[in-house]
Amino acid sequence: MSQGEPITEEKVYCPNCSAQFPKGSRFCPVCDARNLFYVEHKDRVTAGLIAVMLGIFGGHKFYLRKFTQGIIYLFFFWTIIPAVLGLVEGIRFLTMSEAQFQQRY
């Protein structure tokens, strides 16, 4: 590589076996260790629509990998509280910017 050439991809190595992870891989191809630098991006519009339609069951919480909060929504789904919260959170997701959403979730 020449001196002025920009680096286009960052190399990530497995902490267990020192093998290099393929780009975008979640697990090591040699020892199946988890890639700690893998970032899974969630879609703001999808989260908002799930919150509006399935907010009473906490569907958006499970989509955003907040399982404890999702289970609380399931526990109280028979009340009106999760439905109202889901609607409010869905509107909030749909109105916030993509950068704000990715930073927070």
pLDDT tens for each residue of 43-94? 899 999 999 999 999 999 999 989 999 999 999 999 999 999 999 999 999 9
Alpha-carbon distances, residue 98 vs 50, 54, 55 (angstroms): 16, 21, 20
Question: Do residues 33 and 17 lie in contact, with contact meaning Cβ atoms separated by under 8 Å?
Answer: yes
Beta bridge partners, 20, equal 13
Burial (0-12, 13-18, 19+ Cβ within 10 Å), 37: exposed
- Mean pLDDT to the nearest integer, 1-14: 54
Q: How confident is the model at residue 7 (pLDDT cuts 50, 70, 90)?
A: very low
pTM above 0.75, yes or no: no
